[in-house]
Amino acid sequence: MPALGYQLYASRNFGPLPVTCAMLAEAGYAHVEGYGALFDTDETVAELAHALDASGLTMPSVHFGLDAVEKSPGRMKEIAQRFGIESVFVPFIGTEQRPQTREAWRDFGARLHKAGAPLRDAGLTFGWHNHDFELDPLPDGTLPIEALLEGAPDLALELDIGWVARAGHDPLTLIARYAGRLAAVHLKDVAPPRSNADEDGWTDIGHGTLDWQAIAAALKKSDVRHLVAEHDNPSDDRRFAARSIAGLRQAWAEA
């Protein structure tokens, strides 16, 4: 299968970064995806750089908050250059910031399009990472994600498979629909109903309710560049990392 990445947010509650990155390299991961808090200070940036250098992992993609992208594009570009980042994704907006109409979602897409201009001009891919709220139908029956992408014709997409499924949509349908927009995919599995409450209803990839062989076959037909394993709240990140890469390798081999 293609080189597999790991969203470092999944290990935020566990060991220090050098230990985490060494564990991921040993498990067979080739790269990681960073997230905002890792870049808060010069010290955290240096710690991340040391952990990646020591483990041999790369970081081709990253999550930056919209506020940071809009207010500090120069710093975002500096970080991208230092780490060899190719793709930047805005991962989330809070409840109070979320548009409520199709027109407002289209305007939000236009805001993202404008915010990403300095990064695109620097040769970076700029995109959006979904949760479930972009897939909840608006009063007119359309989906917010549709309007968001209409407002941002150059915006890439990091499709989170787990959130797509949790929102009640078929991941295969959305992979096909947005195949040309997919710069990255978050590979995340959903636990059976009424299970894994201590892990917020998520589980190790290949051990939940999703058909990973079918998902792998669909992704092979897309333009996706970055495959990133993720779990929002694992109780054991070593278990999640090991079982998930094994499950994904099997799915890719059988797809």
What is residue 1's predicted lDDT score, i.e. its pLDDT? Answer: 83
Mean pLDDT of 232-254: 98
Write the secondary structure of 159-223 as one string of H (helix), E (strand) and C (coil).
EEHHHHHHCCCCHHHHHHHCCCCEEEEEECEECCCCCCHHHCCEECCCCCCCCHHHHHHHHHCCC
Report the amino acid identity of residue 92: F
pLDDT at 185 over 90: yes
pLDDT at 15 over 90: no
pTM above the 0.85 mark? yes
Ordered by start, the domain boundaries in the chain are 4-254
Could you report the per-residue pLDDT of 74-107, keeping only the tens digit for each? 999 999 999 999 999 999 999 999 999 999 999 9
Task: Identify the bridge partners of residue 34 per DSSP, sorted by sequence position.
Answer: 62
pLDDT at 4 over 90: yes
User: What pLDDT band is residue 202 in, cutting at 50, 70 and 90?
Assistant: very high
pLDDT at 223 over 90: no
3-class DSSP state for residue 130? coil
Contact 159, 128 (CB under 8 A): no
Task: At 234, list the tokens.
Answer: 């694992």
pLDDT at 167 over 90: yes
CB-based burial of residue 217 (10 Å sphere; 0-12 exposed, 13-18 middle, 19+ buried)?
A: middle
Task: At 172, list the tokens.
Answer: 């295969």
Rounded to the nearest 10 degrees, how much is the dihedral formed by the CA atoms of 126, 176, 92, 144?
110
Task: At 188, list the tokens.
Answer: 């995340």
Task: Report angle CA 132, 183, 203 to the nearest 5 degrees.
Answer: 45
Could you report the per-residue pLDDT of 50-72, keeping only the tens digit for each? 999 999 999 999 999 999 999 99
CATH 3.60.15.10 is right for the domain spanning 4-254: no
What is residue 237's predicted lDDT score, i.e. its pLDDT? Answer: 98
Task: Round the average pLDDT of the chain to a whole number and report it.
Answer: 97
Task: At 20, list the tokens.
Answer: 């985490």
Could you report the per-residue pLDDT of 118-136, keeping only the tens digit for each? 999 999 999 999 999 999 9
Distance CA(176)–CA(171), nearest Å, equals: 9
Mean pLDDT of 163-184: 97
Distance CA(149)–CA(43), nearest Å, equals: 36
Contact 209, 201 (CB under 8 A): no
Contact 8, 20 (CB under 8 A): yes
Distance CA(180)–CA(222), nearest Å, equals: 7
Percent of the chain scored above 70 by pLDDT?
100
Cα of 40 vs its chain's centroid, Å = 19
